Structure 1
């Protein structure tokens, strides 16, 4: 009886191990099949779209430039990281049906638009009224990660890029494509916005007095006001 029981237990373990191996092999084969389905041209197209949407000027880019100029590269990158994570979350939610939900309740879109205008005007006010002394030795932290993330959710450029990108590359709503596009966009967005923060830190070498810093910040503030005005018309 003992020998029969041991043989039964051994047989069960062998069956469990074989089942695990089969499941692992099946999973690996599934990943390989999925990888083969994604042609290099599709990946390049996704990356090119992400680059064109992220590197071109917009409210988040302007704030990244200003943060890099006023507070330095690494404080500016805090804003960049928050904006990147915020946009990636927005992109994923758009890919999984948020846009269709908003279409059913149009007033939510108007609320987001109004909040976006208010937030842009708030950021513009902070830039226009800045005394220009932070980059000349006073302690300053610059925009936070949370502000960067919120700004993307209130940024019309981010919404348009998310909706257009998902419509082009994930028209069939395939979950794997949604995640892949979001992963590519996350990397490209972080690098692109980081370039704006770096450009700002480079410009800071030429902003040697409070007057020049104030002039620069006021110009950035006027650009943000222009973005807010664009939302209204």
Structure 2
């Protein structure tokens, strides 16, 4: 069980679309708007987990056309989020981002987030610690995942919101938001690169 908990920690804390957008939304919009986004991510990640546990995700993702549609939707949505973060509170955008992505935005991200499916598949298909009682093991894994997921995402949100609260110049804040957005785009590029290697 400790091995499973360690795997959860390292798989979740590593930069991916969820944690990067959490920090970016916190930096661009502050803690309270970011908290609504994190609630959406939480709902979305648990929906993905249930899809993986039930096998629905495997069936749906086995259809190549659906995988392509989800990949395109994922890239488009992540690029939109990156732009929203980059231009938060800025007058340099054609249409400045006035509001943070809310609960629905978080749910949508997880629904099309390739890392969410990969992490949940790894965690729920591997690391058996109660092979004689699959129901107990699955429930225990859900509890452990959420017990680690929540503080990690709140930590990333707090880090971003701390940057938001600092008395930085507009130029410095803009550079931070652009750096957050660029990090998110780098993760998108790495995911695309990895998918082409398959």
Match of 2:104 in 1: 146
* Matched-pair contact (CA < 8 Å) for 2:26–2:157: yes
| CA apart distance, 1:232 | 2.4
SS at match of 2:126: helix
Is the 1:92–1:178 contact (alpha carbons within 8 Å) kept by the matching residues of 2?
A: no
Give the 3 Å change call, closer, same or farther, for CA 152–104 of structure 1 in structure 2.
Answer: closer
Distance 1:100 1:140 in 2: 38
Is residue 174 from structure 1 mapped to residue 134 from structure 2 by the alignment?
yes
- Tell me which residue corresponds to 1:204: 164
- Which structure has the bigger radius of gyration? 1
* Counterpart selection for 1:183 from 143, 168, 181: 143
1:49-84 CA distance string (max 9 Å, x none): 221122111111111112222222222121112111
Runs of 5+ consecutive residues of structure 2 not aligned to the other structure: 92-96, 194-198
CA distance in 2, matches of 1:141, 1:51: 30
Specify which of 101, 118, 122 is matched with residue 164 of structure 1.
122
Distance 2:101 2:147 in 1: 21
Structure 1 match to 2:79: 121
Q: Which has the higher helix share?
A: 1
Determine if the alignment matches structure 1 residue 227 to structure 2 residue 159: no
TM norm structure 1: 0.71
TM-score using structure 2 length: 0.83
Distance 1:216-1:230 versus aligned 2 partners, 3 A rule: same
